[in-house]
Amino acid sequence: MARHTGSKCKLCRREGVKLFLKGDRCLTDKCAIEKGRKNPGETPKKFRRKMSGYAIQLREKQKTKRIYGIYESQFRKYYERSCRQKGVTGEVLLQYLERRLDNVLFRMNFAPSRSAARQIVNHGHITVNGRKVDIASFLVQENDEIEIKEKSKKMNIITQSLQRGKGKTPEWLEIDMPKMKAKVKQLPAREDIDYDINEQLIVELYSK
């Protein structure tokens, strides 16, 4: 579990794109990216050097880690597991990240951000196939059913997130909003991941 105690907007500014780390704030004009604020510690333009190939690869990895909110050690483990699986390594890596329970909860619009979803999972408000799961990194499988526990369905953070419902529900999840549950119809494919991520750059970085 990753925990960042500093400014989350600063992370978005560093990567130059919205990472959607602060829920609804990211959708308003209060967002640092919308305000056009410069990167933290940015060198004046006339002195700025062109980024090297390594720097580009590193930034892509950092951006992806920050989107999903995980530490380097865990991210590397996902990469190593991806290398052992059949298929394109980069796509398998992103599939692992999408299958995390905290991400699935966020994708279901049951939490305003992944950090909020992680907290909901850790506090034991979620069941998978009828059994409580309090591990945010739990990987869902095809045909798994994820549901908010009955006594937790009236939590403000969950009901307010559902009312807003601004996130697009991916095709690989079948959502039953009245019952606050979802079923994994199939494992996520590359086209289901709508973030601007170049996974090949990450693979090249780790392959060195």
pLDDT at 162: 86
> In whole angstroms, what separates CA 8 from the centre of its chain?
14
Of 18, 21, 132, 107, the residue nearest 70 (C-alpha): 21
Is the CB of residue 100 less than 8 Å from the CB of residue 138? Answer: yes
pLDDT at 168: 74
Residue ranges, the chain, pLDDT below 50: 1-2, 47
36 DSSP 8-state letter: T
85 DSSP 8-state letter: S
Report the residue count for the chain: 208
- Ordered domains of the chain (ranges, CATH): 100-187 (3.10.290.10)
pLDDT at 2: 47
- What are residue 107's DSSP bridge partners? none
- The Cα 114–Cα 56 span in angstroms is 25
Give the number of C-alpha atoms closer than 13 A to the C-alpha of residue 180, restricted to the C-beta side: 20
- The Cα 121–Cα 84 span in angstroms is 28
